[in-house]
Amino acid sequence: MQDLQSLQISQLVDLLAEQTSVITAMFAEKNFGEEYQKHKLLLKAIQVELDFRKNTADIIPATNITSPPDFS
């Protein structure tokens, strides 16, 4: 399995879309074998990584955001 933690969010989203497409095609073909299970596991891992990053972003404030200038 890929190291999902090292990927950027945009790469994770692309991978999520790709895996969703693969699983959808396999589901339509009623192909629920070992390969389907591997893709399903990878899809779940991507979702978990994205959720983790979302929750972490809610907890840890961004450090590279500057405050707006004070015009008063």
Quote the CA–CA distance of 70 and 56 in Å, as a whole number.
30
pTM of the entire predicted model? 0.75
Residue 62: the pLDDT is: 58
pLDDT of 37: 96
For 18, counting Cβ atoms within 10 Å of its Cβ (0-12 exposed, 13-18 middle, 19+ buried), the class is middle
Write out pLDDT tens, residues 47-63: 999 999 888 877 766 55
> Could you tell me the end-to-end alpha-carbon distance of the chain, in angstroms, rounded to an integer?
54
Give per-residue pLDDT as tens, 8-47.
999 999 999 999 999 999 999 999 999 999 999 999 999 9
60: exposed, middle or buried (Cβ count in 10 Å: 0-12, 13-18, 19+):
exposed
